Structure 1
Amino acid sequence: MSAVPYDEKKQAGEEPGYVAVDPHSSDSDVAPEYLITALVQEDHSHDIKLRTMSWQKAAWLLAGDQVCLAIMAQTWSLSVLGWVPGLITMVFAGILFWITSMTMHKFIMKHPQIKDICDFGYYAFGKSRIAYEFTGFMLLANNILLIGFHVLTGAKVLNTLSDHSLCTVVFSVIATLMGIIMSLPRTLNHVSFMSMFSAAAMGIAILLFLVFAGIEDAPLYGYNGDYPTDGKVYTYAFPLPGTTWVGCMNAVLNITFLWVPQILFPTFIAEMERPQDFPKSLAVLTAISAFLFIVPPAIGFRYLGQYSTAPAFGSLGVVSYKKASFAFVIVPTLVIGVIYANVSAKFIYFRIMGKSRHAHSNTVIGWGAWAAVMAGIWAIAFIFSEVVPSMGDFLSLLGAAFDSFFGFIFFAVAYYDMYRKNLFGGVARSIKTVIHAFVMMVGLFLLGPGLYAAVEAIIADYSGGTRPAFSCANLSI
């Protein structure tokens, strides 16, 4: 079916601007701009409208996802790598984030019916059903483990603030129940409202940490002992003697993990009223991220030096300082869990509901299924938070196993798909092709040596004793 604008084919009862396009047509026979319009029109005919976000709200949603506790782990990364390798890794990760995100957006504009990262994998790998199902598995595994990490973080915050007044499992249950309730809104447009408060709360937590780190006499402790066991606080340009390759690689994975949120971006774009405007949202996010991912960690490393921990709040020497700054982390902890849960639930929910009226309507069955799927996701995440001994190590494993695909390999493949007939057509195109070849190599490096380093770290932690499953042990930082 060809796309026909309203002014060329009027139909009775249609509003001006209507486009007579089947929104589920093959992208080969419908111009993308008409298909986007048709997709929005179809969505707006439903009771529950998903494609309603402005680029400003999308920017808030992106910021709510990115302004997170992982920022406070970057100080530790600098303490492992030193100033020179650490800052170089941070800057290069940011540059590659911008390039790969723009490639992702251009590919989605070519295939605007993409609803999530699974659809992206389907089209990038030649409409492969195997790629779709494999990406679906990675999406759920990645997101549910991340939600579990946020359940565990919520328990840590409550432990710290209450001086371990209850069993840690109880605190985890509280965080899980709060997450389920906050996840009930079905549109990301509603979640973006929460993201404003999430980003603001995390910003306050970071600011308080920087103030307290600057005014206190000395840090409390580091991984090599209490202050001043490891000498006076100092910083260094390169890794200290004795630093292992595995340690350096995990510090690099810690940085790349923070800069690879693209697993969520296709879903965000699919819920924008004008997905063409996503680069504006991305520009806002990149500016915020470049500042927060580099400046606060650098200041933290300046004051904590070799005593840096992950998160850096744990190194603060005054308990009241630690509690005052860490308290604000509970908001982004829950909201970011909600964002990942929303994306995961939509993948499962629409596979269950298909094209039935319950998928987009306010029906008892539709809302009941949505609540059940959401509760199931958080319940599984809760189990992971309790049975995995070291979620930090498993996040490194996720960074190597999944972010290698979702941050690098997918977008190198998508670039090749878009420009395979003109990879070296001119200087600019040749440079971009070389850059994306480098992106592919980075992804393969993370998938190979990076995965090895993550597994070695997990083995080392297991050999040193682990936290029992469903333990009441105090997890205060």
Structure 2
Amino acid sequence: MADYLPEKKEEKVFDAEAQDSDNDSTTYVINALVLEDHGHDIKLRTMTWQRAAWLLCGDQVCLAIMAQSWSLSVLGWVPGIITMVVAAILFYITSMTMHKFIMKYPQIKDICDFGYYAFGKSRIAYEFTAIMLLLNNIMLIGFHILTGAKILNTLSDHSLCTVIFSVIVTLMGIVMSLPRTLNHVSFMSMFSAACMALAILLFMIFAGTEDAPLYGYNGEYPTAGLVKTYAFPLEGTTWVAAMNAVLNITFLWVPQILFPTFISEMEKPQDFPKSLAVLTGVSAFLFIVPPAIGFRYLGQYATAPAFGSLSSTVHKKASFAFVIVPTLVIGVIYANVSAKFVYGRIMGKSRHAHSNTIVGWGVWIAVMACIWAVGFIFAEVIPSMGDFLSLLGAAFDSFFGFIFFAVAYYQTYRGQLFSGLPRTVKSVFHLFVLLCGLFLLGPGLYAAIEAIMADYAGSVKPAFSCANVAI
């Protein structure tokens, strides 16, 4: 077995019933892993559950929140809020399933290890998950580079070529990504979450005090009539538009691709449910209340992000400016998780992997620079990052938010899936989780591809364009 796959000697696992009744085996393995880690120069397993909560919030409290008012404008109040609430419930329960499975295999370091064990210690599953991890994360880094360029364009009134702004964001991202541990990155996450919360607060104030929005995708105000809200989708809403709105909500609620790495750097991974509870509470409020307020005041003129619908340029700049911090920090989080995987494949078990050596740091910096460079290329050559994110949501989130955890649940309780009413209810629920994943992978993927084809049928943004992308 290759060095980068989980080690056989660490497979001190136990069955689900033993885990439910006695955590001694888990504690023993975790303590051994922490002890081994703390013997290295670079110590990874150092995060408290409070720091992990900040890291989770820094990752989740993001610009995508400001696209949810648009989702509500497509779906209407009833389907939109139902989708948000169901996504929240699915997120919490599947995340708990993921944590329970990782406690069965505490040596899991990332989502690739998770896939390896969930699919019966399959090397094919490991490699397949690795490809999806890198594609997902690096394309998201590209999205954040593009978003950073959009912010700088907006604030400077397009004072420079957009490619130059993208280069600036990329270089800033590389420098900010140099810390090796997520414990250090969690410091940045505190400021990231605070800045995004401030941007959201300012947006709500401005949206509520302005006389009318500036424009929507159907034209400038009042081309599409006076601002209105509605319980169900407006007449003429296509299935593809509705499905993309659902994917937009789903994408926001599915960050679990990063969670195994976060858990692996906690000093007490048993405490992750505390961090998750904090994140779920914060997310449930921010993912529903501000978008609902935005839809109330913007109605059918809501755009993604909703800042673009504000009528005052000053208001738009004042609120959008704070988004530069979470844009960079979230890119750093995805880069850190991606770089750790690539770095581990390169360095294996050599002393450079966990030591402060010139070779070790040189390889880390080179890997990080390459990841951001590839992200920069994605940002420049893809015509519509928004539609490609819907593609990501359908192709990857279907696995990392649903299918993986339904399979992990089956592996955890295999042979006991219907042993009693509570277990039967949970098993049926995870069957529903599996069906949700398959639905996203089928009709959801179709809708995303249709949207991309529509992009290419119209005017396509040329690669490495200097065009103004300000909101």
Q: TM-score range by the shorter chain?
A: over 0.9
Task: Give the Cα–Cα distance (whole angstroms) in 1 for the partners of residues 135 and 226 of structure 2.
Answer: 42
- Structure 2 residue corresponding to 1:202, chosen from 196, 204, 208: 196
Gap change, CA 1:23 and 1:362, over 3 Å in 2: farther
- Structure 2 residue corresponding to 1:248, chosen from 228, 235, 242: 242
The amino acid of 1:435's aligned partner reads F
Aligned to 1:437: 431
Give 3-state SS (helix, strand or coil) of 1:385's partner. Answer: helix
User: Which moved further from structure 2: 24-33 or 187-196?
Assistant: 24-33
Does the alignment pair 1:170 with 2:167?
A: no
Aligned to 1:425: 419
Contact kept, 8 Å, 1:55 with 1:272, in 2: the verdict is yes
- Structure 2 residue corresponding to 1:446, chosen from 440, 448, 453: 440
Q: In the TM superposition, what are the counterparts of 1:224-373 in structure 2 within 5 Å?
A: 224-373=218-367
Q: What displacement does 1:23 show?
A: 9.4
The amino acid of 1:471's aligned partner reads S
Contact kept, 8 Å, 1:23 with 1:42, in 2: the verdict is no
Aligned to 1:9: none
Q: What displacement does 1:28 show?
A: 4.2
Contact kept, 8 Å, 1:143 with 1:341, in 2: the verdict is yes
Aligned to 1:3: none
Task: Give the Cα–Cα distance (whole angstroms) in 1 for the partners of residues 316 and 332 of structure 2.
Answer: 25
- Structure 1 residue corresponding to 2:11, chosen from 10, 26, 38: 26
Cα offsets for 1:77-128 (capped at 9, x unmatched): 0000000000000000000000000000000000000000000000000000
Gap change, CA 1:28 and 1:211, over 3 Å in 2: closer
Q: What displacement does 1:443 show?
A: 0.1
Task: Give the Cα–Cα distance (whole angstroms) in 1 for the partners of residues 443 and 51 of structure 2.
Answer: 38
Cα offsets for 1:307-361 (capped at 9, x unmatched): 0000000000000000000000000000000000000000000110001110000
The amino acid of 1:25's aligned partner reads E
Aligned to 1:389: 383
Contact kept, 8 Å, 1:122 with 1:129, in 2: the verdict is yes
- Structure 1 residue corresponding to 2:461, chosen from 449, 467, 470: 467
The amino acid of 1:439's aligned partner reads V
Cα offsets for 1:106-157 (capped at 9, x unmatched): 0000000000000000000000000000000000000000000000000000
User: Which moved further from structure 2: 394-403 or 28-37?
Assistant: 28-37
Gap change, CA 1:148 and 1:415, over 3 Å in 2: same
Q: In the TM superposition, what are the counterparts of 1:98-117 in structure 2 within 5 Å?
A: 98-117=92-111
Does the alignment pair 1:412 with 2:397?
A: no
The amino acid of 1:463's aligned partner reads A
Task: Give the Cα–Cα distance (whole angstroms) in 1 for the partners of residues 439 and 8 of structure 2.
Answer: 39
Contact kept, 8 Å, 1:80 with 1:243, in 2: the verdict is yes
Long gaps (5+) in structure 1: 1-21
Give 3-state SS (helix, strand or coil) of 1:473's partner. Answer: coil
Contact kept, 8 Å, 1:23 with 1:39, in 2: the verdict is no
Q: What displacement does 1:283 show?
A: 0.2
Aligned to 2:19: none
How high is the sequence identity, in percent, across the aligned residues? 80
Aligned to 2:17: none
- Structure 2 residue corresponding to 1:37, chosen from 31, 41, 51: 31
Task: Give the Cα–Cα distance (whole angstroms) in 1 for the partners of residues 37 and 8 of structure 2.
Answer: 10
Aligned to 2:135: 141
The amino acid of 1:464's aligned partner reads G
What is the TM-score when the length of structure 1 is the normalising length?
0.95
The amino acid of 2:299's aligned partner reads G
Does the alignment pair 1:54 with 2:20?
A: no
The amino acid of 1:142's aligned partner reads N
The amino acid of 2:191's aligned partner reads F
Contact kept, 8 Å, 1:66 with 1:258, in 2: the verdict is yes
Contact kept, 8 Å, 2:13 with 2:104, in 1: the verdict is no
Q: What displacement does 1:24 show?
A: 4.1
Q: What displacement does 1:465 show?
A: 1.0
Give 3-state SS (helix, strand or coil) of 1:293's partner. Answer: helix
Contact kept, 8 Å, 1:75 with 1:310, in 2: the verdict is yes
Task: Give the Cα–Cα distance (whole angstroms) in 2 for the partners of residues 126 and 362 of structure 1.
Answer: 36
User: Which moved further from structure 2: 362-371 or 24-33?
Assistant: 24-33
Aligned to 1:181: 175
After superposition, the CA RMSD in angstroms is 1.0
Q: What displacement does 1:26 show?
A: 2.0
Contact kept, 8 Å, 1:144 with 1:380, in 2: the verdict is yes
Task: Give the Cα–Cα distance (whole angstroms) in 1 for the partners of residues 125 and 401 of structure 2.
Answer: 16
User: Which moved further from structure 2: 272-281 or 26-35?
Assistant: 26-35
Q: What displacement does 1:389 show?
A: 0.2
Contact kept, 8 Å, 2:112 with 2:127, in 1: the verdict is yes
Q: What displacement does 1:174 show?
A: 0.2
The amino acid of 2:10's aligned partner reads S
The amino acid of 1:50's aligned partner reads L
The amino acid of 1:419's aligned partner reads Y
Contact kept, 8 Å, 2:398 with 2:440, in 1: the verdict is yes
The amino acid of 1:186's aligned partner reads R
What is the TM-score when the length of structure 2 is the normalising length?
0.96
Cα offsets for 1:144-182 (capped at 9, x unmatched): 000000000000000000000000000000000000000
Q: What displacement does 1:27 show?
A: 2.6
Task: Give the Cα–Cα distance (whole angstroms) in 1 for the partners of residues 13 and 285 of structure 2.
Answer: 41
Q: What displacement does 1:420 show?
A: 1.2
Give 3-state SS (helix, strand or coil) of 2:168's partner. Answer: helix
Long gaps (5+) in structure 2: 1-6, 15-23
Give 3-state SS (helix, strand or coil) of 1:230's partner. Answer: coil
Contact kept, 8 Å, 1:23 with 1:38, in 2: the verdict is no
Task: Give the Cα–Cα distance (whole angstroms) in 2 for the partners of residues 24 and 400 of structure 1.
Answer: 37
Cα offsets for 1:279-302 (capped at 9, x unmatched): 000000000000000000000000
User: Which moved further from structure 2: 116-125 or 416-425?
Assistant: 416-425
Aligned to 2:126: 132
Q: What displacement does 1:31 show?
A: 2.6
Post-superposition, which runs of at least 4 consecutive aligned residues in structure 1 deviate over 3 A? none
- Structure 2 residue corresponding to 1:86, chosen from 80, 84, 95: 80
Contact kept, 8 Å, 1:23 with 1:35, in 2: the verdict is no
